[in-house]
Structure 1
Amino acid sequence: MRRHDVRKRGVPDLRIKEDHSIMFSDTPVPDLFIHDMMPKLSGNAVKCYLFLNSVSAYGSRDATRSDIADRLGITEEAVDESLLELQRMHLIVVGDTDISITDLKMLELQKRYRPIASSLPSEITQRENLNEERERMVNLIKMTFFQGIMTFMWYDQIDRWFEAYGFEPEVIYALFQEAANNNRLDGPGYANRIAEDWAAAGVKTYDQLSVYYARFLEKNKIKAYVGKKLRRVLTEYDLKDIEMWIDEFGYDQEIIDEALAKTRGASKPSIRFVTAVLKDWHEGGLTTIELVRDYEKNREAEAGRARRKQVLARDNRGNFREGEERDADSGTGYDTRMPRIDSDELEGGPDS
């Protein structure tokens, strides 16, 4: 049915007709609307939707723009705004001569299930077993985290996690546990970000998740340790550097602590300095604490030798000039250096 902009044309004398499938028409206001869509609508839009449902529940009725405004106690402009809002949410379809109320249950059913032309018996059995396992986990999630009442948006989100990321049911449960531990079950946003992180790390099974969490906890432990050692609150960039030490360089806390020790005595120790030290070790192929300590010991010894050579060269330069003067006089055994002549003597000459 063709839609039009109710803001421009207003609401003509329309016939409101029911568009519900009889099979699913058990309530004038679907629970799907109450739990998932009503919180997103304005008050006037909710009023309009409830009014349209109440009218269509008893068959088609004629209604004008002013009729709706009078019944709801709002302006005719507010009616236009509300119907436009309901259209954007796909709750109604405004045609040239009527308004159709969308069958939300049928729409949801079509989104969830796709007809399959044919399947092998083994594929059917495998799919049924998988669906039963998923269904048990979804029911457990519903009872554990939502007291038996889980909104439809969560069902959609769970299906997407199963299909897009290939998570095992136990991983989905752990995802809800993580969100609940952080009091973030008010919406799917937080859980979805966690799911993306797990998927990016290659997590699909519960065993893989256990390995991921062990690594995750170890990272957090190292980050807290570094912040304590450097006596500072770590920024987002600091945390990225630390993750580079662990993930890219492959260093554990023992080697990182060895690098942190080099900041001892610094008034403002920096992450950048520690990163430079660890990068040098990484590029040198140092993978164990023993190799690191041997490398640093040799480098300190080399630096000590270089300093001694520099000091010796500086001292030798002074000794060499004095030696030249002694060598010049050694031929006669006397002090043959030229005596100093005052400037007065040069100008006036000796007294006669």
Structure 2
Amino acid sequence: MSFIKGSTSIDLGDTPIENIFIDVYMPMTNGTFVQVYLLGYKYSLDRDPNMEVNNMSIARHLNIPLSDVLSAWDFWESKQIVKKHKADGEDENNYTVEFINLKQLYIDNNYKANYNTQVNNNITEKKSDTYTCSPTDLVEANKVPEIRDMFVEINKIIARELAPNEKLKVIELLYQYNIDPPLIVEAFRYSKKQRKVRHILSYSAGVIRTWYDKGVFTVEQLQEYLIKQGERYGLYSRVFKSLGFGSREASEAEMKVMDSWIDEFKFDLDLILAACQNSSKTPNPNINYINGILRDWHKKGVKQVADIENLDYKEKKTFSYKPTQSTPKIKTKFHLAKSRGDKYTADELEQLILNNQKQRLNR
């Protein structure tokens, strides 16, 4: 699907809307609040002094109740993208609406020293020692490649796009616990694949809190923790990382094969990872290839990493080939007889050939 903008020969005016509003703020609310914002924004760009605009005229123009207009301005003010300035008089609904320049918000937050500084400066601390994030924080976070990749991976896991308010909750988790974005992805994957939960966002938040309390702040620490807890998820993740599969999830068939390494072969993680390292001999290693290595080791009685070295030594000793200093020439039946030319010199051979040719010509 694509979109094409048509052209016109008559200029009827344009109202430029910042993309930040369309991408970040517009999906947050209903269409009525968006209509109020856009119409008010258009009026802010019109310089006609004869045009009188107020909340009541906006309500009539959009054919909506006045209360909806007032609620819309309250909502956008809570998102910190407009400011209401009360005017003199008794009418509480008579105020001026100032539209905040969203591009300037972006520019103000664009130059941070590094990611850690970004995290610390984007945290707003409450009295209860919890944290909350604003849409501005989401705009700021989306500039970080690691966070953008995190959202992409989460979308794949839950098979849909995260809503803006859900993204804010994820960013809040990231800032609150100061953990790596890949660890948040693992929390969603763990919740979705292992626990089959329905409310995955809230459950993933609980998983992250548990891991944080256990001192787990990185994916590597998570793998060690889960393996110690007897969680097969940690094994799958560690094997896939060793094989360079990135963030790809293990299929049911692959998990079944990896389970057999523990349940049937009784192998520990070190021995399994040794097989993964051994897979460097092939350009495209996969689970079946590793399974072939481990099954062969199992048949030959390998039970620990030290046994691999002994096995390799025995196989090399059995099938070793030591080349000699000089390779003898191979003789065939054509080399058994001594050549007749051995008793003639080169000049004698040449004269003999000439004489034979003269005899043939004389015939």
Query: Hey, which of these two has a bigger chunk of helix by percent?
Result: 1
Compare relative contact order (CA 8 Å, sep 6+) and give the higher one, 1 or 2.
Answer: 1
State if a TM-score over 0.5 links the two structures: no
TM-score normalised by the chain length of structure 1? 0.39
